[in-house]
Amino acid sequence: MAATMYYDRDVDLSPIEDKLVAIIGYGSQAHAHAQNLRDSGLNVVVGLREGSASRVKAEQAGLRVTTVEDATREADVVMLLIPDEAQPGLYEASIAPHLTPGKALAFGHGFNVHFGRITPPEGVDVFLVAPKGPGHMLRRIYADGGGMPGIFAVAQDASGGARALALAYARGIGCTRAGVLETTFKEETETDLFGEQSVLCGGVTHLIQAGFETLVEAGYQPEIAYFETLHEVKLIVDLIYEKGFSGMRHSISNTAEFGDYVTGPRIITGETKGTMREVLTDIQQGRFAERFIADAEAGFPYMQEQRGKMRGHLLETVGQELRDKMPFIEKKELEV
Ligand SMILES: NC(=O)C1=CN([C@@H]2O[C@H](COP(=O)(O)OP(=O)(O)OC[C@H]3O[C@@H](n4cnc5c(N)ncnc54)[C@H](OP(=O)(O)O)[C@@H]3O)[C@@H](O)[C@H]2O)C=CC1
Ligand SMILES: CC(=O)[C@](C)(O)C(=O)O
Ligand SMILES: [Mg+2]
Ligand SMILES: [Mg+2]
């Protein structure tokens, strides 16, 4: 059965119109939520830790900023948008003491509630609205008049109005322009982790890197390898995004399409899909979450080591030089 999709015409903004929304944090998601909600005519305050370097940026964007404690005290809806690994600490210290009955606690990802790292009190609504894309793109697409698909879920409905509130929030950040559907904290958490690891981030970067290295190691020019295995990915993916596989395959040569069918299954094999199933099981059984939190608690030694490996990699240095020569590529510094 097809899922029920919600669009602007289906969703009433009124459940959130008379409320104050506190956006906690001012990073990738938070700056986009805060600015989109504000531009949708809603009341927003940004809650930041003492001495936050983001304070000036939020104020420059015309937003009111206060402490996390005061934002929680003042607001009706508290949207927690700091890194997942940091959320339980800030929640216990600065949010929970002020989260009185009647308020709503909201998330952009189900991680901490699903894995039992944050347990909100009875008497508050708990929901998530997860836009399906990076925060900087959530803002950019909204400002251009478009929207990013999103999914929402209610974990606790103390007021009887949590669902309507979550949908109104999704409309406020522009997701109902593109389509919103209902999920659970479990489904959102597991699918989001799986998607980013296997396909969107882990899958795509490692596919590109393996292709780039294969060509360079065989003696081909790195600039050609970069154009072939990285730059052109966007052009092909844009066609897939706009017109699906068949539309992309219509645009490419018969030679490329034939090679796609012959070679694709040699690269992404039955074994790869078996590994994807193992990855999904690790996520479902909490093993990925445990590994992530353990690294975070140790100061991210594994993450730092991985970041270090790509620093100075030919793919990055050649890419930087080539992108610098293409003035039409969006080069504005990211806002946050
Ligand atoms: N990144 C994305 O596009 C997506 C993220 N999400 C979810 O959104 C949430 C936020 O992720 P993301 O936007 O990537 O987060 P960011 O890493 O961009 O968050 C940075 C912000 O968090 C603040 N912060 C960091 N640590 C602390 C702390 N210990 N106490 C107080 N404030 C802190 C920073 O404060 P300061 O300014 O003071 O440094 C900064 O404002 C997560 O749940 C994530 O899973 C969901 C969909 C996509
Ligand atoms: C951007 C997004 O949707 C991710 C990949 O899930 C994330 O940043 O966590
Ligand atoms: Mg994610
Ligand atoms: Mg995601």
The whole-number pLDDT of residue 1 equals: 66
Q: Which tens digits make up the pLDDT trace of 18-55?
A: 999 999 999 999 999 999 999 999 999 999 999 999 99
Query: Is residue 142 a known part of a binding site?
Result: no
CATH of the domain at 46: 3.40.50.720
Q: Does 60 fall in a domain?
A: yes
Ligand 2 binding site (Cβ under 6 Å of any ligand atom): 132-134, 192, 196, 200-201
| 153 pLDDT above the threshold of 90 | yes
Q: Which tens digits make up the pLDDT trace of 294-324?
A: 999 999 999 999 999 999 999 999 999 999 9
State the pTM of this model.
Answer: 0.98
Atom number, ligand 2, closest to the C-alpha of residue 192? 6
Residue ID of nearest Cα to ligand 2 atom 8: 134
Question: What are 210's two structure tokens?
Answer: 């393996």
Q: Does 335 fall in a domain?
A: no
Q: Which tens digits make up the pLDDT trace of 223-268?
A: 999 999 999 999 999 999 999 999 999 999 999 999 999 999 999 9
Instruction: Report the number of distinct structural domains present in the chain.
Output: 2
The whole-number pLDDT of residue 181 equals: 98
Q: Does 190 fall in a domain?
A: no
| 332 pLDDT above the threshold of 80 | no
138 and 49, same domain (yes or no): yes
Q: Does 329 fall in a domain?
A: no
From 112, 140, 200, 336, mutation site for ligand 2 pocket: most ligand atoms within 8 A of C-beta: 200
Cα 69 from Cα 49, distance rounded (Å): 9
Q: What percent of the chain has pLDDT over 70?
A: 100
If we measure between CA atoms, which residue out of 34, 4, 9, 29 comes closest to residue 172?
34
Backbone angles phi, psi at 248, to 5 degrees: -65, -45
Is 109 an active-site residue? yes
Contact 147, 177 (CB under 8 A): yes
- Indicate if ligand 1 lies below 6 Å from the C-beta of 154: no
Average of per-residue pLDDT values in the chain: 97
Of 109, 206, 250, 313, catalytic: 109
173 and 73, same domain (yes or no): yes
DSSP assignment of 216-230 equals HHTT--HHHHHIIII
| 205 pLDDT above the threshold of 80 | yes
Contact 78, 105 (CB under 8 A): yes
- Indicate if ligand 1 lies below 6 Å from the C-beta of 196: no
Confidence of residue 331 (pLDDT cuts 50, 70, 90): confident
The whole-number pLDDT of residue 324 equals: 95
- C-alpha triplet 85, 25, 100: angle, nearest 5°: 90
Question: What are 196's two structure tokens?
Answer: 């980013």
Atom number, ligand 2, closest to the C-alpha of residue 201? 5
202 and 294, same domain (yes or no): yes
Boundary residue ending a domain (151, 183, 215): 183
Contact 48, 68 (CB under 8 A): yes
Instruction: Please list, residue by residue across 185-223, b when 16 or more beta carbons sit within 10 angstroms of its beta carbon and e when fewer do.
Output: beebbbbbbbeebbeeeebeeeebeebbeebbeeeeebe
175 and 207, same domain (yes or no): no
From 114, 192, 193, 303, mutation site for ligand 2 pocket: most ligand atoms within 8 A of C-beta: 192
179 and 203, same domain (yes or no): no
- Residue 238 belongs to what domain range? 196-324
Q: Does 191 fall in a domain?
A: no
Query: Is residue 40 a known part of a binding site?
Result: no
Q: Does 50 fall in a domain?
A: yes
Q: Which tens digits make up the pLDDT trace of 160-181?
A: 999 999 999 999 999 999 999 9
Q: Does 330 fall in a domain?
A: no
Query: Is residue 28 a known part of a binding site?
Result: yes
